[in-house]
Structure 1
Amino acid sequence: MEPGWARRVLLVEDQAVLRTLTRELFEQRGFEVCSAATGVEALAAFDAFDPDVLVADIDLGARPDGAELAEILRARAPHLGVVFLSSYPRAAARAQPFGLADAVFLSKAAIGSADELVAAVEGALGSSAGDVFGDGPGAGADAVSGAAKAGGGNGIGSLTRHQLRVLSMVARGWSNEQIAEQSGAGLRAVERSVSRIFERLEVSGDRGVNARVAAAAQYLAEFGPVR
């Protein structure tokens, strides 16, 4: 992962030692981490931290548990990746973990290496939110693939699949309200996504630059006109 841009993990684990070890693992791999011991703490931290993915134990010793927390946060931010890390057996989560689309389930006892945990997070980031905005306007599979190949920690190559979908709508000239209506996401979630896209494309912070126009220009330069 390139310096200067780190995907954000909201880690929720009630066991202090495991929480610390897992946090250090993610930070060593270049992720930015906010850790919480309970679902209540995670809810309080969510808006300010604006994570890309939730990694949560299921049994947190209090309500909301990890599954309930994921459901609440997905309602706020449909693009959020979700990884359940638990002592529960795999069968307890069912084929679709706790009924949550695109969530990834890992049994703590079955994890053989740190790479497996990181791979699960990468998988959640790659699949969870990309289809929230459907296959309608915006970056299709070829565009997403092209952006991934571009690589790097800055510009178009640094955007997640979800962010490319949002950026494609910005490139169409849509307002945040229109994007929210089209996607079914909350306006606040869209505003957060757009703000982070502008930061990663380095088009924010200059009053002399219209960030929406500059971001759209980068998208169009990479993928051509939006159909």
Structure 2
Amino acid sequence: MWEWSLPVTRGETDNMTASSNAALPSESTPLRVLLAEDNALVREGYADMLSDQPGIELVAAVEDGFAALRVLDLHRVDVALVDVEMPRMDGVEAAREIAARHPGVVVVMLTAFEDKARLAEALGAGAQGFLTKDMDIEQIIAAVRDAVAGKTVLGPEPLEVAAQSLRQRAAEREANAEFLDRAEALSPRHAEVLKLVARGLSNRQVATRSGHTESTVRTYLSEILQTLNCSSRTELAVKANRLGLVADDSA
């Protein structure tokens, strides 16, 4: 049975910097893969299949995100194949930690895809792809190689979910074209207040972040509500977020 604790060879003990400084594997260099899967039988099955694939070197097969991070601290890895639902540290949190601690490691989710909402969570956490366990091992390996080359890879079902989400977003934006046009025409100061309010900040917090007084924020907010024909800050926040007007940044 595959375990995470493999012998450390010379040149693999660069800790945090090993994976981030690693060059992309060439055709003659095996792709070093880490597998994280909590189900022991599934983990062993994929470990055997990966080990039988030409050009693939299975570094370790582990049971959760914590174990995966321990391996990455000690071994050079090109790709981490990570299940979504795992105990202690699930795949989404593992992807987030790997991106922060080992940015050179490509993370690809390999999951049963029972919760569609986790697709966006995983990609937002830094995963380069989202594959499903109903795919053939050859398809998985081909997708993994594409991910290493910098492509975002999705299995057939996640791809359909993503496409449907884009279609819904496009339809919703078309239905709210007037709202979007008016939002686009807001002054920079009004637009800043809109984004901060849409993130759920109070008037006092908006004032602190923007440098305005609370009185000015209230005035701007009243003008924004009137311009965008919204009856409340809640309606404003919901529409702004649903239509993608709130950038995911720290502003």
Q: State the TM-score, normalized to the length of structure 1.
A: 0.49
Greater relative contact order (CA < 8 Å, ≥ 6 in sequence): 1
Greater radius of gyration (CA): 2
Q: State the TM-score, normalized to the length of structure 2.
A: 0.45
